[in-house]
């Protein structure tokens, strides 16, 4: 089972009504049965707040959520309008002193072979906070594993995972921070939503980069996934795929059949060395998009070290910045699937562009398994849930950088 992690970019149109059902999670904003006796002050990148529980957040003070361990903290901004959804949020410690602490809710009803979208807002205190999300019950799903966000840009970021339930039944959803080496980079969450979603066919051709490969391998080149080789005739500088084009310092790479890449035996590496030739781009032309239709772009991303960084845009009749300096953990030995929701305003043929516009040393970004799929309007809520524009679903998904980050 593969999962898709989505970051919803700033300024994007909301999903059209009727594409999603009601929020399956109860009180995803953590506002029900709040405690009116705030504890000591505790700051995050969004501003000053206080512990909201009767013992600085250690007590279970919510009606619909429970937590294990003592180091999951219930927080309030005291009406300061700093949190994304209401005046309360949860902080998950990155130091599991008493074992891994979790915030969880039971009784989540899932149906086998149904696709769901889980979203929540995430921010931190410093560094790069990370979080795990799991669903347990009739089956066990690791929905997110060490999902990272920047903890120093003054913004909450919308994180979302798309998954398909393997079995029908009631599940527990659990949030935890299990990285004992991450110091004070605690993760904060708010605005949790879970809805059904359906996606159409892939509009990107050869998103796995397997078509018209070059059999003459160049020098070895490693990433966090293992040892690989340049796959192009000039160590990846040549345009060697049928459906993709690129500039000079974007490298075509193969794992030589070692099953290390996420989709097939080939991937692309995008250099972060702007001091050598400037920002080079990997792109595909001729992607048909319809104005007013909601689409999900997704791709798998990893690196060589540090935190690889990537920008993604679609250009044509409309220009949309999908990712701006999105990052991934570059040393955990795993790829992370990144995606975003976007809505072009004009119908036509578009170009999809991947590039890095910051000089990030040797933390180059590797990508594979690219897709653009339309959100299908075949999941129609009951009339009573059509007011989801105010209450839940994906209709309100947007990135909070709009007001906090230029």
Q: If you write DSSP's letter for every residue of 181-208 in order, what string do you get?
A: TSTT--EEEEEEEEEE--B----STTTT
Interval 194-211 mean pLDDT: 93
C-alpha span between 25 and 27 (Å, rounded) = 7
* % of the chain beyond a pLDDT of 70: 80
Interval 180-209 mean pLDDT: 87
Interval 181-200 mean pLDDT: 84
CB 327 within 8 A of CB 309: yes
Helices (H) then strands (E): counts for the chain: 2, 25
Give tens-digit pLDDT for 225-264.
888 888 887 766 777 899 999 988 888 999 988 899 989 9
Mean pLDDT is lowest, of 33-37, 95-99, 104-108, 211-215, for: 95-99
* % of the chain beyond a pLDDT of 90: 30
The pLDDT of residue 290 is above 80: yes
- Listed in order, strand segments (DSSP E) in 52-149 are 66-68, 72-76, 88-92, 102-110, 115-124, 130-136, 140-148
Give tens-digit pLDDT for 165-182.
889 999 999 998 876 666
**Of the candidates 123, 47, 30, 122, the residue with the CA atom closest to the CA atom of residue 82:** 47
Report the pLDDT value the prediction gives residue 133, as an integer from 0 to 100. Answer: 92
Report the pLDDT value the prediction gives residue 86, as an integer from 0 to 100. Answer: 92
Confidence of residue 382 (pLDDT cuts 50, 70, 90): very low
Interval 194-199 mean pLDDT: 87
Give tens-digit pLDDT for 27-81.
999 999 876 677 888 888 888 888 887 655 556 678 899 888 777 888 888 888 9
Sign, Cα dihedral of 342, 345, 347, 349? negative
Report the pLDDT value the prediction gives residue 399, as an integer from 0 to 100. Answer: 28
């Amino acid at each position: 089972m593969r999962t898709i992690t989505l970051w919803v970019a700033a300024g994007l149109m909301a999903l059209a009504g009727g594409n999603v059902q009601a929020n399956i999670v109860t009180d995803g904003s953590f506002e029900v049965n709040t405690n009116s006796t705030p504890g000591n002050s505790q700051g995050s990148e969004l501003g000053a707040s206080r512990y909201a529980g009767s013992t600085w957040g250690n007590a279970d003070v919510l009606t619909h959520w429970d937590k294990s361990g003592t180091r999951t903290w219930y927080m309030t901004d005291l009406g300061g309008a700093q949190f994304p959804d209401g005046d309360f949020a949860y902080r998950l410690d990155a130091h599991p002193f008493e074992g891994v602490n979790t915030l969880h809710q039971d009784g989540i009803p899932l149906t086998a072979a149904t696709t769901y979208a889980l979203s929540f807002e995430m921010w931190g205190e410093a560094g790069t906070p990370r979080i795990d999300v799991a669903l347990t019950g009739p089956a066990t799903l690791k929905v997110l594993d060490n999902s990272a966000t920047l903890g120093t840009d003054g913004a909450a970021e919308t994180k979302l995972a798309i998954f398909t339930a393997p079995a029908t039944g009631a599940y527990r959803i659990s949030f935890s921070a299990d990285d004992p080496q991450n110091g004070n980079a605690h993760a904060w969450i708010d605005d949790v939503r879970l809805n059904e979603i359906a996606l159409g066919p892939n509009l990107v051709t050869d998103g796995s980069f397997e078509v018209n490969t070059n059999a003459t391998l160049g020098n070895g080149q490693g990433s966090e996934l293992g040892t690989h080789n340049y796959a192009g005739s000039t160590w990846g500088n040549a345009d060697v795929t049928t459906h993709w084009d690129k500039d000079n310092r974007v490298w075509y790479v193969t794992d030589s059949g070692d099953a290390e890449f996420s989709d097939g035996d080939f991937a692309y590496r995008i250099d972060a060395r702007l001091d050598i030739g400037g920002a080079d781009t990997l792109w595909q032309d001729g992607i048909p998009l319809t104005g007013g239709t909601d689409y999900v772009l997704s791709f798998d991303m990893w690196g060589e070290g540090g935190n690889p960084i990537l920008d993604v845009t679609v250009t044509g009749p409309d220009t949309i910045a999908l990712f701006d300096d999105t990052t991934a953990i570059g040393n955990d030995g795993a790829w992370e699937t990144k995606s975003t929701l976007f809505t072009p305003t004009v119908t036509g043929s578009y170009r999809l562009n991947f590039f890095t516009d910051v000089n990030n040393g040797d933390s180059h970004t590797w990508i594979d398994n690219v897709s653009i799929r339309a959100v299908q309007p075949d999941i129609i809520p009951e009339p009573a849930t059509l007011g989801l524009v105010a209450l839940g679903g994906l209709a309100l998904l947007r990135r909070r950088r709009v007001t906090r980050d230029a």
